[in-house]
Amino acid sequence: MSTLTSKQLKQYNEDGYIAPIDILSLEKIKKIREEIEYIEKKWPDELIGLGRNNVHYISPVFDKVVHNSKILDVVEDIIGPNILVGGTTLFIKESGKSYIKPFVGWHQDAKYIGFEPHNWVTAWLAITDANEENGGMRMWPGTHKEKIKKHKDTFDKDNLLTRGQTIENVPINETVSIVLKAGQLSLHHPLVVHGSSVNKSNSRRIGFVIQSYIGTNVDQVIGKTYVQQARGKDLFKYHEHTTRPVELMNKKNIIFRNSANKELQKILYKDAKKIGKY
Ligand SMILES: O=C(O)CCC(=O)C(=O)O
């Protein structure tokens, strides 16, 4: 029996995403936010640039999120019972009052991530509310049924994507705003076109993105991905499995995360003209 309702599954099949899904209480979200702020204060370089990736390798708090059974139940409904965690990214958008104006260009995740076949799903957990005002995501429904589109590398410094990539001429009036309360989740398909605008509010917008949950039948065709078993059995053994952190910022875990992030960087910048800040 599935956890997602038939309406939610229909939304995924027809539109390429599902939102919102209730996952964590505000009390649990507060602890996650405190963990971010604690790391930022104590180790100011740790979560910026390439360091926005794979915080679940150095923080037991985030490790617990990626192995959360409520998230895995809904992910299982989409990709089946054998699930690996293929990576995570913190998408933090500072308030519009800061000197940078971060946004995310229109893109399809499948263009750069290298996971084939597309038996995978991206889970976006709202650590703060995410809405039109503070730069929540917008989806272009139905585009997951299309092929990979042409992406232009702009290297715009405010674009939170690695190469500042963007799909041009997206009809904004056909896109839909994803509104999430802190603690809610959205799921999106590898091919659905999405992006997000600047944060015009007075506070940060934070999304913790499991990018992505992959079925064990999914290989990495560009480079190397490390994985954790989230549920079920790895029947294919395409990837190297990693251990889970038991304390924050353990030295061994830091070294491992740095090398995993370097491998990720090679994937995300394959054939790019230059390397950006992430
Ligand atoms: O956080 C955002 O605004 C965009 C994140 C995104 O593009 C993704 O999760 O695939």
Tell me the pLDDT tens digit for each residue of 67-115: 999 999 999 999 999 999 999 999 999 886 666 688 999 999 999 999 9
* Cα 137 to ligand 1 centroid, rounded to whole Å: 6
| Superfamily in which the 6-268 domain is placed by CATH | q2cbj1_9rhob like domain (2.60.120.620)
User: Nearest residue CA, atom 1 of ligand 1?
Assistant: 91
* Cα 16 to ligand 1 centroid, rounded to whole Å: 14
Task: Give percent above pLDDT 70 in the chain.
Answer: 98
CB neighbours of 181 closer than 8 A, spacing ≥ 6? Answer: 20, 126, 129
User: Nearest residue CA, atom 6 of ligand 1?
Assistant: 195
Please report which confidence band the pLDDT of residue 140 belongs to, taking 50, 70 and 90 as the band edges.
very high
Mean pLDDT along residues 203-211? 96
Prediction pTM value: 0.97
Q: For 151-202, what is each residue's pLDDT tens digit?
A: 999 999 899 999 999 999 999 999 999 999 999 999 999 999 999 999 999 9
From the alpha carbon of 107, which atom of ligand 1 is closest?
7
Angle at 56 between CA 271 and CA 180, to 5 degrees: 90
**Residue 22: strand pairing partners:** 184
* Domain extent listing, the chain: 6-268
Pocket test for ligand 1, best of 92, 104, 189 (most atoms within 8 A of CB): 104
Residue 96 has what pLDDT?
66
* Cα 79 to ligand 1 centroid, rounded to whole Å: 20
Q: Is 27 exposed, middle or buried (0-12, 13-18, 19+ CB in 10 A)?
A: exposed
> What is the torsional sign of CA 133, 65, 189, 257?
positive
Q: For 15-37, what is each residue's pLDDT tens digit?
A: 999 999 999 999 999 999 999 99
Q: Is the pLDDT of residue 144 over 70?
A: yes
